[in-house]
Amino acid sequence: MKKLTAHEATVPCGLLGDTTTRDYSGKLKQFNAFAAPELRDAIASLRLQPGMHVVDVGCGTGEVLNWLSAAVGATGVVIGIELARAHAACARSATPAQVLVLQADLLRAPLRRASVDLIWTVNTINHLRDPLAGVQALAGLLRPGGRIALGQSSLLPDMVFAWDARLERLTNEAVRQYYRDRYGVSEADLAAVRALVGWLRGAGLANVSVRTWSLERLSPLDVASENYLRDVIFRDTWGERLRPYLSAEDFQRLTQLCDPRSPDCALRRPDLHFLQTFTLAVAQLPG
């Protein structure tokens, strides 16, 4: 496998600024803990069999690798591919020795062609500048009859402000504008995350099916959901970064809703209703 130069390692190779040195492992771990029931149900829906060869492309911090490994058993093979060095290191520490984790670019995956039964890839293809090229590259790794399971949570989480529909609308618009400004992307670029079916069919795959899960949480929250909402959504998504996109009054109100120390914190409201979707599109390489 070709080793990246120091310059290549810090040049964004994706639409959303990913590099081999980027590290948001904390967020990935919290998302996997939060969404574990739905992710595990999605894996179960694939009806994996013992002995299968499965690759998780964009494996992040590795929690899903354990669930895939359990599904294919001791006779199966599970491999994780992850661009970021820090994420790959986390994945190695979170998985047993028989799970192989490779730090690599999915467009140049160091795997033999036509050797894989299933590719699982979640919240990854939408980071590429050319998602269709990414799906085509992955399809080349499949055996005849092999499948790609292309998963995507909503690019920008949604939450129902049952008590303030106006602030809900302004907050979601502000988040989208932040992403457009930070990454220099257009509204169309952000909307392309919805093109899962088109990417699969454009890559020549067949028997496309789609299912969407609702990651829906109400108060009182379980620990994993509260941690995810407090840290990943309230602090990192809706925190200080939104100040330039809201009026001073609206930003102050949002801050009160997001601050666990505030008596108005949304986490303590009996009408709290968080909703985030997870969609899994599955397609097969014709045999």
pLDDT at residue number 188: 78
* pLDDT tier, 162 (very low <50, low <70, confident <90, very high otherwise): confident
pLDDT above 70 for 179 = yes
Strands 142-153 and 77-82: unpaired
Average pLDDT over residues 181-189: 84
Q: pLDDT, tens digit, for every residue of 252-282?
A: 999 999 999 999 999 999 999 999 999 999 9
pLDDT at residue number 2: 41
pLDDT above 70 for 216 = yes
Determine which of 3-7, 184-188, 192-196 has the lowest per-residue pLDDT on average.
3-7
CB atoms within 10 A of CB 204: 12
Buried b (16+ CB within 10 A) or exposed e, 11-47: eebbbbebbbebebbebbbbbbebbeebbeebbeebe
Percent of the chain with pLDDT over 70: 93
What is the chain's mean pLDDT, rounded?
Answer: 91
| Chain position carrying tokens 């899960």 | 213
pLDDT at residue number 159: 83
pLDDT above 80 for 152 = yes
Domains and CATH numbers, the chain: 6-155+186-215+276-284 (3.40.50.150), 158-183+218-274 (no CATH)
pLDDT above 70 for 16 = no
Would you state the structure tokens that stand for residue 101, as one six-digit string? 């984790």
Determine which of 5-14, 227-236, 274-283 has the lowest per-residue pLDDT on average.
5-14
pLDDT at residue number 145: 97
* pLDDT tier, 189 (very low <50, low <70, confident <90, very high otherwise): confident
pLDDT above 90 for 7 = no
pLDDT at residue number 9: 44
pLDDT above 60 for 154 = yes
- Residue 209, exposed/middle/buried by CB under 10 A (0-12, 13-18, 19+)? middle
Do the beta carbons of residue 129 and residue 81 sit within 8 Å? no
pLDDT at residue number 14: 63
Helices (H) and strands (E) in the chain, counts: 11, 8
Percent of the chain with pLDDT over 90: 82
Q: pLDDT, tens digit, for every residue of 60-95?
A: 999 999 999 999 999 999 999 999 999 999 999 999
3-state helix, strand, coil split of the chain in percent (to 5) is: 45, 20, 35
